[in-house]
Structure 1
Amino acid sequence: MALWRKARPEQAEVVEAEPAEVREQVLRARGEGDADTEQALTGSWQVRLQQLLRADPSLAGELRRVLDEVLTPALQPADQDRIGSLVMKATASGHGRVYQSGRDQTIHER
């Protein structure tokens, strides 16, 4: 993956082989109805990409290109419709609280 080659060249060879392998594992888990394994596999890659962007925010454009041109087209059409972006910002002052969620959220307060 050219993105990894730019950011972490020492890991590029290993990382280039992993997406195809992980994709097969995800598809197998999906086919078996194993949502937990599917979520764990995709979650681990989300964390890796987040770490990559934190280390070098200038890679955001290249990552967006990979998502748009490589990863999203590989999804089933129904899954492609779920792809989007979400930007949330919040500020609280004093004793104010902010709750944000890109999905489900449960808050228990006393």
Structure 2
Amino acid sequence: MATDAWQHARDATVALWRRVHPERVSAIEAELADVRAEVIAARDEGDSQVEEELAADWQRRLRRLLRDDPSLAGELRRVLDEELNPLLAPADQPRIGVQMTATASGHARVYQAGGSQTIREA
């Protein structure tokens, strides 16, 4: 939060809002500054729960942004994959999203799910 990575993440987030809701950019900039201060304080106090709650709040914001305009899916994925995900430590990167890849050949079958899956074959 106190590094160049934070500034880059902030800039990427503000740029996304600027493209989607330019009228909200000032408010988003102020909220990001507040969040940064809260995260730094939480880390100083060793309070990981506050960090998790703040991250969950921003996840909800991004979900609402996507819900309100599903056409943003590609842009949001690009921002996450190309700008924000690389800023995370490798161990934290999988928390951003899920990527599943499979290859089948011949008579093979591939079953993939992002959650529960039930397969009934006769």
**Pair in the same fold by TM > 0.5:** yes
Q: Please list every run of 5 or more consecutive structure 1 residues that lacks an aligned counterpart in the other structure.
A: 87-100, 103-110
More relative contact order, 1 or 2 (CA 8 Å, 6+ apart):
2
Q: Cα RMSD between the aligned structures?
A: 2.7
Among 16, 39, 63, the alignment partner of 2:52 is 39
Larger CA Rg, structure 1 vs 2: 2
Give the match for residue 22 of structure 2: 9
**TM-score, reference length from structure 1:** 0.62
Q: Take 1:25 and 1:74, find their aligned partners in 2: how far apart are those partners? A: 20
Letter in 2 for 1:47: R
Deviation sequence 1:27-69 (CA, Å, 0-9, x none): 5534543121011100110111111101101111111111112
Aligned 1:25-104 pairs, distance under 5 A: 25-26=38-39, 28-30=41-43, 32-85=45-98
Aligned residues: 89
**TM-score, reference length from structure 2:** 0.57
Q: Please list every run of 5 or more consecutive structure 2 residues that lacks an aligned counterpart in the other structure.
A: 1-13, 100-113, 116-122
Letter in 2 for 1:22: V
